[in-house]
Amino acid sequence: MNRSKPVSASRATISCSVQPQNANPAGIVHGGFILHQIDTVAAVAAMRHVRGNVVTLSIDRTIFHEPVHIGELVTFFASVNMVGTTSLEVGVRVEAENLFTGAIRHTNSAYLTFVALDRRHRPVPVPGLILESEEDRRRNEEALARRAQRLAERSHSTPSRITFRP
């Protein structure tokens, strides 16, 4: 059985300076660029926790609070919020820093669910999660509520099937 790991063992941070190719003509960074970085840093945190391969199952919620502009330093902070049997939720906080003034703004938040896979691409159990602080406990409780909501939505919806024909 996999041993439990503390939240601090898997935290991940990525920073990047936003360039013109990442933005629209108004100088505002494309949401897709932000989402790509969110998925990347969240996957690093998930892989650190499981010490194996993971795949993104869903990006549950992404909230764009404020725009990010060309020239700002954007930092993505990821932390494992909750673990299930073979899946885990990672929360990501995005902050933009004006390098001239030092002002830092919280611009985005996101919650992603990953599934741990073995070498044959089959789900495998993930280690438990040791909550180290009140902040960890709060995030865990909120993640459990989001999970319950996802499961309730799934039980009330009929999955659509796509059939490919030659």
Residue 159, pLDDT score: 58
Q: Which residues contact 89 (CB under 8 A, 6 or more apart)?
A: 60, 80, 81, 82, 83, 111, 112, 113, 114, 143, 146, 147
Residue 150, pLDDT score: 83
| Alpha-carbon gap, residue 108 to 93, rounded angstroms | 6
- CATH code assigned at 32: 3.10.129.10
- Coil, strand, or helix at residue 160? coil
- Examine residue 1 and state whether it is found in any structural domain, yes or no: no
- Examine residue 39 and state whether it is found in any structural domain, yes or no: yes
Residue 164, pLDDT score: 42
Indicate if the alpha-carbon torsion angle 59, 79, 115, 154 is positive or negative.
negative
- Examine residue 162 and state whether it is found in any structural domain, yes or no: no
- Examine residue 147 and state whether it is found in any structural domain, yes or no: yes
Residue 162, pLDDT score: 46
- Examine residue 161 and state whether it is found in any structural domain, yes or no: no
Residue from 123, 142, 146, 145 nearest 134 by CA: 142
Q: How many domains does the chain have?
A: 1
Predicted model pTM: 0.89
What's the domain range around 11?
A: 7-156
- Examine residue 11 and state whether it is found in any structural domain, yes or no: yes
Q: Which residues contact 143 (CB under 8 A, 6 or more apart)?
A: 81, 82, 89, 91, 111
**pLDDT tens digit at each of 166 positions of the chain:** 468 999 999 999 999 999 999 999 999 999 999 999 999 999 999 999 999 999 999 998 788 999 999 999 999 999 999 999 999 999 999 999 999 999 999 999 999 999 999 999 999 999 999 999 999 999 999 999 999 988 888 777 665 554 444 4
Residue 157, pLDDT score: 67
Residue 151, pLDDT score: 83
| Alpha-carbon gap, residue 37 to 33, rounded angstroms | 6
- Examine residue 164 and state whether it is found in any structural domain, yes or no: no
- Examine residue 17 and state whether it is found in any structural domain, yes or no: yes
Tokens of 128: 């438990």
